[in-house]
Amino acid sequence: MKHKLFTFGLVSILLASGIGTLSGCSDEDSSSESSHTVTKVNHKKSSSTNSESNEESSSGSKSKVPSEYENALATAKDYDEDQPMSKAGLLDQLTSKDGEGFTQDAGQYAVDHLNADWNENALKCARNYLKEEHLSRSDVQEQLSSSIDDGGEGFTSDQVQYAMSHLND
């Protein structure tokens, strides 16, 4: 019985720690992935972080910004350092149940206060698709501009145009 409980506990810990996969734009080598596979990086510290944040904000924190919003912003900064994403892609990662699980309001606060260079993120993502995924320029453009729901990166048309015009710089 102890062995079964230990095994169940170990599996639960591994799942809660966020072993997972998102963005084909990560700077890591993805040569073993198919050319259109999107690799997801999960930054979950623990499954209780978000609920603890909610408890702290309701228990009279001195900060005017709820701690869940601050945690979402800190997580967004981690993503922005690790891999280039669009604003839409980052918001989806922060708020989806398969991602970080923050509330929509906390995720929106995070992407609005991140001060990311979305044009540069689009360019980095485009370069990665060319170098690591070996996509054609037209496929890169399509991947960057396609919506998150369609498996794309969700960059705006201006950001895609910037990336495509600076690929050879």
CATH number of the domain enclosing 98: 1.10.10.10
168 falls in which pLDDT band (50, 70, 90)? confident
Residue 146 in this model has a pLDDT that exceeds 90: yes
**Are 100 and 122 found together in one domain?**
no
Q: What rounded mean pLDDT belongs to the chain? A: 76
pLDDT at position 169 is: 79
Domain span including residue 148: 118-169
- Which structure tokens are listed for 1? 């019985």
Residue 157 in this model has a pLDDT that exceeds 90: yes
pLDDT at position 33 is: 38
What domain count does the chain have? 2
Residue 43 in this model has a pLDDT that exceeds 70: no
**Domain for residue 85, yes or no?**
yes
- Higher-pLDDT residue of 23 and 68 is 68
**Are 104 and 127 found together in one domain?**
no
Question: How would you write 108-167 as a 3-class SS string?
Answer: HHHHHCCCCCHHHHHHHHHHHHHHCCCCCHHHHHHHHHCCHHHCCCCCCHHHHHHHHHCC
**Domain for residue 167, yes or no?**
yes
**Are 111 and 123 found together in one domain?**
no
d(CA 163, CA 29): 20
Task: Choose the final residue of a domain: 116, 137, 152.
Answer: 116
Residue 160 in this model has a pLDDT that exceeds 90: yes
**Domain for residue 46, yes or no?**
no
H and E: helices and strands count for the chain: 8, 0
**Domain for residue 157, yes or no?**
yes
